[in-house]
């Protein structure tokens, strides 16, 4: 593969040893991990040594590593070549725009990774069921979780190489501390019937306790005019301590009696209140256009005042909401304003709404 004899682009985030030799030529050493394959086998996976070199070269390479002189190679390493179905062909529900009732999830959409595949599988599964039941699809917003960012990126921008869900791709990542996932996605879980009533009730109780404490801490003084909230923020900044229960931040005794998960989320929200509020304002500013649905079959090419380039791109991508339309490269804010007026005036609507029917 490296010599060009085999065509194909290797995965960027998992370079082969021959690739590393060239890209990181200045490094004096390289770490390998011997990962046991199971309890009842003496087979090991050599993590960090992926390669597509010929088998005899692989054997020589492994035997040159101190400790592995006598290792037996059960299977040669091999290169993985990726192919995928361009995700621009999908609605945010992960249903194909071309073949109705066909849903795509996972690496067939151009992603790489366990979480990437699992989250799409969840959304596609829920939406296949929703489509069959004739109810609205589950669409996680970009401001609600990484799942939302991942799917929106895929179906709006497409991808040219294996897509990984880096936290830096999410503009509102400050809101995505992992402990708050069940709180952020509670409404979706309820609407789409994804959790037992028991679990929903527990999350609701946790949410209430957190919100009550956050409000209480910012209203009640520790001493003088300083509220608990002010004191926690000041201490968090001054000490640079972990914003977590047990991190040494001041807390009223009754808060310490709450479950640790509640304490942690309360401390997070209070300590970073200023940043979180700023983020929330930004989300609210954007939420207007995220909620405006573009009717299915909307005839972009018939809209006067829309630039030709935009109209063509919009007709090709068939965005689901105005928010999604605004992220298509080449579509500018002026085009969005024109579209907004037209949608409100009921123009351009052609075929029936998709999805679901
Ligand atoms: C060596 C290796 C190491 C990796 N390490 C990591 C890692 O450390 N962390 C990470 O996040 N990701 C890792 N990945 C990537 C990750 O494993 C994949 O991106 C992810 O598993 C893809 O999930 P998927 O469900 O889309 O596809 P798959 O897991 O490939 O599932 C597709 C399934 O469809 C089945 N199938 C295929 N054709 C048919 C058919 N005609 N009929 C019925 N069934 C069919 C297959 O048997 C398979 O079970 C690694 C990948 C490889 C190859």
What is residue 310's three-state secondary structure?
helix
> pLDDT tens, 201-229?
999 999 999 999 999 999 999 988 899 99
Residue to substitute in 117, 124, 159 for testing ligand 1 pocket (most ligand atoms within 8 angstroms of CB): 117
Assign residue 331 a region (left: φ > 0; alpha: ψ between -120 and 50; beta: otherwise): beta
Residue 162 CA: which ligand 1 atom is closest? 19
Task: Supply the pLDDT for residue 327.
Answer: 87
Residue 111 CA: which ligand 1 atom is closest? 19
Tell me the CA distances in angstroms from 104 to 46, 89, 107, 189, 302, one per residue in order: 32, 10, 9, 21, 31
Task: Supply the pLDDT for residue 333.
Answer: 76
Angle between helix axes 333-344 and 308-317 (nearest 10 degrees) is 70
The token duo for 122 is 């969840």
For residues 88 and 313, the answer to whether their CB atoms sit within 8 Å is no
What's the first-to-final CA gap in the chain, in angstroms?
Answer: 47
Q: How far apart are CA 173 and CA 145, in angstroms?
A: 8
106 Cβ inside 6 Å of ligand 1: yes
**Stretches in the chain below the pLDDT threshold 70:** 1-2, 6-13, 241, 348-357
Assign residue 12 a region (left: φ > 0; alpha: ψ between -120 and 50; beta: otherwise): alpha
β partners of residue 321: 293
Task: Supply the pLDDT for residue 10.
Answer: 63
117 Cβ inside 6 Å of ligand 1: yes
According to DSSP H, which parts of 169-227 are helical? 181-184, 186-191, 197-219
The token duo for 341 is 């007026």
């Amino acid at each position: 593969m490296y010599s060009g004899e085999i065509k194909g682009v290797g995965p960027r985030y998992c370079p082969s040893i021959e690739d590393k030799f060239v890209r990181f030529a200045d490094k004096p050493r390289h770490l390998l991990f011997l990962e046991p394959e199971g309890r009842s086998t003496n087979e090991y996976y050599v993590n960090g040594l992926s390669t597509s070199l010929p088998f005899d070269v692989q054997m020589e390479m492994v035997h040159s590593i101190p400790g592995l002189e006598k290792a037996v190679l059960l299977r040669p390493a091999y290169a993985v070549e990726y192919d995928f179905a361009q995700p621009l062909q999908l609605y945010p529900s992960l249903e194909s725009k071309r073949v109705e009732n066909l849903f795509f999830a996972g690496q067939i959409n151009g992603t790489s990774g366990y979480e990437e595949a699992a989250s799409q599988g969840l959304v596609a599964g829920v939406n296949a069921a929703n489509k069959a039941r004739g109810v609205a699809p589950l669409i996680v917003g970009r401001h609600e979780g990484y799942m939302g960012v991942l799917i929106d990126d895929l179906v709006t921008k497409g991808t040219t190489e294996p897509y990984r869900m880096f936290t830096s791709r999410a503009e509102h990542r400050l809101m995505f501390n992992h402990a708050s996932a069940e709180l952020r996605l509670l409404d979706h879980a309820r609407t789409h019937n994804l959790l037992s009533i028991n679990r929903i009730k527990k999350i609701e109780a946790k949410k209430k306790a957190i919100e009550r404490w956050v409000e209480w801490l910012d209203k009640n003084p520790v001493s003088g005019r300083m509220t608990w909230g002010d004191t926690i923020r000041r201490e968090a900044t001054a000490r640079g301590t972990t914003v977590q229960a047990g991190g040494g931040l001041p807390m009223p005794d009754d808060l310490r009696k709450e479950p640790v998960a509640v304490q942690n989320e309360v401390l997070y929200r209070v300590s970073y209140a200023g940043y979180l509020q700023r983020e929330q304002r930004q989300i609210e500013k954007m939420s207007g256009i995220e909620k405006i649905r573009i009717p299915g079959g909307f005839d972009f090419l018939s809209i006067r005042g829309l630039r030709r380039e935009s109209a063509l791109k919009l007709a090709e991508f068939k965005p689901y909401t105005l928010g999604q339309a605004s992220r298509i490269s080449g579509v500018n804010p002026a085009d969005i304003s024109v579209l907004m007026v037209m949608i409100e005036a009921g123009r351009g609507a052609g075929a029936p709404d998709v999805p679901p029917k």
